[in-house]
Amino acid sequence: MGFCKVKIVVDAFGGDNAPLEIVKGCALAAAEYDVEIILCGDEDTLKKVLSDEGISDPRIGIAHASQVISMEDDPHCILKEKADSSMAVGQRLLAKGAGDAFVTAGSTGAALIGATLLVKRIRGIKRAALATLLPAAGGPCLLIDCGANVECRPEFLHQFALMGSMYMRHIMGLADPRVGLVNNGAEKTKGMPLQVESYELMSKSGSYNFIGNVEGRDIPLGRCDVAVADGFSGNIVLKTFEGVGLFLMKEIKNLFIGSARGNIAALLLKKELSAMKKRLDYSEYGGAPLLGISKPVIKAHGSSNALAVKNAVRQAVRVVEARVIPTIETLLRDENISKE
């Protein structure tokens, strides 16, 4: 241990397929990237899983945690009743600098509360937000906030825009990400008071490339790279997106099954179908970054398999190496100086 560039703390007991798929995903990541991993969770169980799977990578360590936060638990339990859960132990390790980033497929609410109160926000950031990459024409679009903050103020949305823009620039390599405000029409007078005031604030900021209001359809059609929303609206976009995607993918699947002609067509299009599936698959993008926290926290999907966990670890490594958080900190400092 100690020779790799980056050390990632992983909640080994978060998500539907924990701990097996989490451990397997971490082993894949350790084999592929220059990374050390600390698995948080019950030590005996983790040792047994590692041994059963024949994993003996010296770059995978264990930090014991006696508890697990379930989806039924009140997220606030991370602070007291479940302070020795795999999620809490992991976030405290991150907070004290024992690792560079934290990955969990567990409860989003607990991850948010833990990140905000144990790891703490970036100085000057009012609210942490959950960001998700959605498949879109021409490349993924980052939706921020997807549900962390149901009620927002214009300044929160401005900060989401700034953080989302930095993420797309440094992680996805876009030179000048187009930032749109999710609204019910293009005109600047559209929306509720929150949207009207946020438009005003965002159009005055020089910290990102604000292109104005975007509608729900503009996101999949690739008309912006960052879609900024309050957590309520963002959650509606995210869930509708997921639902329509599932519905239509099933319709596509039904085209090819149940008939000999369908089976032949599926064989003919095997390569194209697999490429399409990969292009539209969330897990390819890794997890959802919690932006606004002073250290990288990545929320992987609850149903993550080993591949999705590996991708989430890769994403955490990128956020560390690309210095996304220090860049956001600098930008905030510059904004505050220019205001004075």
Positions in the binding site for a second copy (CB under 8 A): 135-137, 147, 150-151, 182, 184-185, 191-192, 215-221, 231-233, 235-252, 254-256, 259, 261-262, 264-265, 268-269, 272-273, 276, 279-280
Alpha carbon 125 to chain centroid, angstroms: 18
Nearer to a second copy, 20 or 265 (CB): 265
Q: How far is the CB of 251 from a second copy (least distance, A)?
A: 6
Q: How far is the CB of 112 from a second copy (least distance, A)?
A: 14
Q: How far is the CB of 55 from a second copy (least distance, A)?
A: 35
Torsion, CA 122, CA 133, CA 110, CA 198, rounded to 10: 50
At position 329, the amino acid (one-letter code) is E
226 within 8 A of 144, measured Cβ to Cβ: yes
Nearer to a second copy, 31 or 248 (CB): 248
Neighbour tally for 311: CB within 10 Å: 23
Sign of the C-alpha dihedral, residues 255, 259, 263, 264? negative
Q: How far is the CB of 253 from a second copy (least distance, A)?
A: 11
Token couple for 58? 């010296």
Question: Which residue, 330, 336, 329, 313, is CA-closest to 100?
Answer: 313
Q: How far is the CB of 48 from a second copy (least distance, A)?
A: 36
35 within 8 A of 65, measured Cβ to Cβ: no
Q: How far is the CB of 128 from a second copy (least distance, A)?
A: 17
The DSSP code for 12 is: T
Nearer to a second copy, 51 or 259 (CB): 259
299 within 8 A of 288, measured Cβ to Cβ: yes
Nearer to a second copy, 245 or 302 (CB): 245
Collapse the DSSP code of 138 into the 3-class scheme (helix H, G, I; strand E, B; otherwise coil) and give the result: coil
Q: How far is the CB of 256 from a second copy (least distance, A)?
A: 8
Q: Which residue is associated with the tokens 């999907």?
A: 301
Distance between CA atoms of residues 297 and 93, nearest Å:
12
Q: How far is the CB of 10 from a second copy (least distance, A)?
A: 26
Token couple for 60? 């995978």
39 within 8 A of 46, measured Cβ to Cβ: yes
Nearer to a second copy, 251 or 340 (CB): 251
Distance between CA atoms of residues 62 and 47, nearest Å:
8
Nearer to a second copy, 235 or 311 (CB): 235
Nearer to a second copy, 130 or 322 (CB): 130
Nearer to a second copy, 262 or 302 (CB): 262
